[in-house]
Amino acid sequence: MVASCKHRVCSKDENIWFPTAFQNRTDYERHPWCVECGDIKNISEDQPKPIGYWMNLLGRIGFLLDMTQCQKRLIAQDMLSCEYLCDTFGTFGSAQQDLFFSIVRKHCANTFNDLDPELF
């Protein structure tokens, strides 16, 4: 797993103003941030999922696509080495989903194209 920051959140009076959502830049809200690394906490509706969620999804997709153990292991290693899937502090859930499916496509290019990512 990637060694990342432990994320110490700033005090409430140190929160900074940022857009509420990534797509909507007209509404602003105060966001907490990490005093160790400077990452800004994601407080939008597009919340990230923990790594266990993505591992469980890999298990379901592996069953549907009839993946080999080797493929699943390579995908799991790539997932664990990726900071965006392991660190849920400032990441968007949609970015995690795109990254997850790109990792699966990398190892299962021929069989994955038939599966619709919208099903998950």
Q: Contact 86/1 with Cβ under 8 angstroms? A: yes
Q: What is the pLDDT along the chain (120 residues), one digit of tens a residue?
A: 444 688 888 888 888 887 776 565 667 888 888 888 888 888 888 889 999 999 999 999 998 888 899 999 999 999 999 888 888 888 889 999 999 999 998 988 766 666 666 655
d(CA 102, CA 61): 13
28 contacts: CB under 8 Å, gap ≥ 6: 17, 18, 19, 20
Instruction: Show the DSSP H helices in 36-90 as ranges.
Output: 51-65, 69-80, 83-86
pLDDT for 3 equals 47
Q: Where are the domains of the chain?
A: 9-44, 51-115
Q: Which of 99, 97, 58 is nearest to 76 (CA)?
A: 58
